[in-house]
Amino acid sequence: MDVAGLVTPLVRMSGITKRFGRNVVLRGVSFDVYPGEVHILAGENGAGKSTLIKVLAGVYSDWEGAIEYFGRAARPRSPVEAMRLGVSVIYQELSLVPAMTVADNIFLGRARGRGGFVPRAEQRSKTRELLQGIGLRIEPDTPVESLPIAAQQLVEIAKALSRDARVLVMDEPTSALTAPEVDTLFSLIGKLKREGRGIVYITHKMEEIGRIGDRVTVLRDGERVGSRPARELTDAELVRWMVGREIQEQAHRAHVAPGEERLRLQDFSVPSGPGSARFAVEEVDLELRAGEIVGLAGLQGSGVSQLLLGLFGSYGANTGGSVYLNGRKAVIGSPQDAIRHGLALLTSDRKATGLVLCRPIQENAVLADLRRLAPGGWRAPARERAAVDALARALRLKAASLEMEAGELSGGNQQKVALAKWIQTGPRVFLLDEPTRGIDVGAKQEIYQLIHEWTAQGIAILMTSTELPELLALSDRIVVLHRGRVTAAFGWGQATAESVLAAAMGVES
């Protein structure tokens, strides 16, 4: 759909330049979105996408250039002003209050009645109408924390629509969704398009660009590289625009003979949570050898993440069954026990559980190995610096200084710091939960290379990924879980996307 020039854009940004001190992060960027289109904003992490969106959304007001909202020049000084202008941003980290109800979240900060009382009946009625409009069948009084992530995503959209948003910005909205949930979201996006709303959609997933994108604009190093109708832009050209070089398609891993046994699980079970009588994982048998990558496949709710957390001691000693490490039975009652046994766990959310974003890179990178680097509890900055220097070189970390806060790095470099934290401990078994979640195509290639280097050194890897092509390409073997139980196990070269998905859905072969 090439709408440029046919109608007035909902939003037009012209020559946007943004500086942080002497650092210019946007240089004369122009971007627009028209009624009834999905405009993909693409680029590597650190390309300037988030900064551009924050300018549009009123988070930043000290920029150069011009913005027209619905044909009128404006300069919002806060997100509230931008929302009043009709622009709403749905960030990857949702802005909902978990303990509050759906209705309270949707009208948070705007629910005023006579005498200062919240008009709850009116609020519930409007919420029910909004939820029906987006096809979400839940009660307005439902606590948000009880909803799956896909439903929370839709509540965020309902919240935006309650403000009469005509432009919705969606930042990596499918990063934690299953395939059926993605279908639901895309159906809703189609409905919003038909209503004449404009969607700015940020994603690193090529298949999504081709599936829902009308136009694509690419940023690189703070500059606009190009803009073109999605149907006219090939994957190869898009990647070249994004990274400035050719990227080889992820090749399937070459078959290598695995080494000695590193990990064996027998009848391994994991509770749904600390102290819970219900099990998220039940009676799993699994073997992992040195230099081998075993992929864990499963849809949301399958238990793959809980299996990794339980194995790492995150649920204490409440797990069932037996764990053998290097041929010996091991008791893992805490993450500290796991680290001592040579286990490491990269969690799926680097911002919430992987890094301390407000602390320097150096502190983050040694956080899991302080027992060795700081014997007796005394920090040794010189020793830490030497260790982190070596890690930064090995992981090809791009940072101006190791004193930078981790939160100032791009997503790909944040992920490298999270990986560095665990490689520093010298693991024999590395548990990877979504190792490339939320990072760009160039950073993915670098992490794939690191994974291959680690297995060549004899590290055994147990990993999960919601990107099935990635799991198929990287894994020597694949074990599939459905509702906490193993439904299939595929040896070298046996797994296909269709067979893995069928097993993940509980379809008997």
Clarify whether residues 315 and 390 are in a common domain.
Answer: no
Clarify whether residues 27 and 141 are in a common domain.
Answer: yes
What is the domain count for the chain? 3
Structure tokens at 472: 């198929």
Got the DSSP string for 65-85?
Answer: EEEEETTEE---SSHHHHHHT
Question: What per-residue confidence (pLDDT) applies to 137?
Answer: 85
Q: Which of 243, 270, 287 is the last residue of a domain?
A: 243
Which domain CATH number covers 335? 3.40.50.300
pLDDT-derived band at 485 (thresholds 50, 70, 90) equals: very high
By DSSP bridging, strand 460-464 and strand 293-297 are parallel
Clarify whether residues 411 and 467 are in a common domain.
Answer: no
Clarify whether residues 174 and 225 are in a common domain.
Answer: yes
Residue 204 lies in a domain: yes
What is the rounded CA–CA span in Å between residue 391 and residue 367? 13
Q: Is the pTM of this model over 0.75?
A: no
What is the rounded CA–CA span in Å between residue 495 and residue 491? 7
Clarify whether residues 163 and 235 are in a common domain.
Answer: yes
Residue 180 lies in a domain: yes
Question: What per-residue confidence (pLDDT) applies to 111?
Answer: 57
Residue appearing with tokens 């990287």: 474
Q: What is the per-residue pLDDT across 456-467, written as a single tens digit (0 to 9) for each? A: 999 999 999 988
Residue 50 lies in a domain: yes
Query: Would you call 421 exposed, middle or buried from its count of C-beta atoms within 10 A (0-12, 13-18, 19+)?
Result: buried
Clarify whether residues 203 and 298 are in a common domain.
Answer: no
Clarify whether residues 373 and 477 are in a common domain.
Answer: no
Q: How far is CA 397 from CA 126, 299, 401, 419, 432, in A?
A: 49, 32, 10, 11, 19
Question: What per-residue confidence (pLDDT) applies to 340?
Answer: 94
Clarify whether residues 412 and 442 are in a common domain.
Answer: no
Clarify whether residues 438 and 462 are in a common domain.
Answer: yes
Give alpha helix (H) positions in 230-292: 235-243
Q: What is the per-residue pLDDT across 257-266, written as a single tens digit (0 to 9) for each? A: 889 999 999 9
Share of the chain above pLDDT 70, in %: 93
By DSSP bridging, strand 198-202 and strand 38-42 are parallel
What is the rounded CA–CA span in Å between residue 355 and residue 106? 30
Residue 337 lies in a domain: yes
Clarify whether residues 53 and 97 are in a common domain.
Answer: yes
pLDDT-derived band at 433 (thresholds 50, 70, 90) equals: very high
Return all residues near 198 (Cβ < 8 A) that are at least 6 apart.
9, 10, 11, 33, 34, 35, 36, 37, 39, 166, 167, 168
Question: What per-residue confidence (pLDDT) applies to 121?
Answer: 85
Clarify whether residues 409 and 432 are in a common domain.
Answer: no
Residue 352 lies in a domain: no
Clarify whether residues 401 and 463 are in a common domain.
Answer: no
- Per-residue pLDDT for 1 more than 50? no
Q: Which of 411, 426, 441 is the last residue of a domain?
A: 426
Expressed as residue numbers, the domain containing 437 is: 250-342+427-509
By DSSP bridging, strand 11-20 and strand 23-33 are antiparallel
- Per-residue pLDDT for 48 more than 70? yes
Residue 349 lies in a domain: no
Q: Which helix (H) or strand (E) holds 209?
A: helix 206-212
Q: Which of 426, 444, 479 is the last residue of a domain?
A: 426
With CA atoms as reference, report the closest residue to 90 among 168, 29, 186. Answer: 168
Question: What per-residue confidence (pLDDT) applies to 440?
Answer: 76
Q: What is the per-residue pLDDT across 167-211, written as a single tens digit (0 to 9) for each? A: 999 988 887 677 788 888 899 999 999 999 999 999 877 788 889
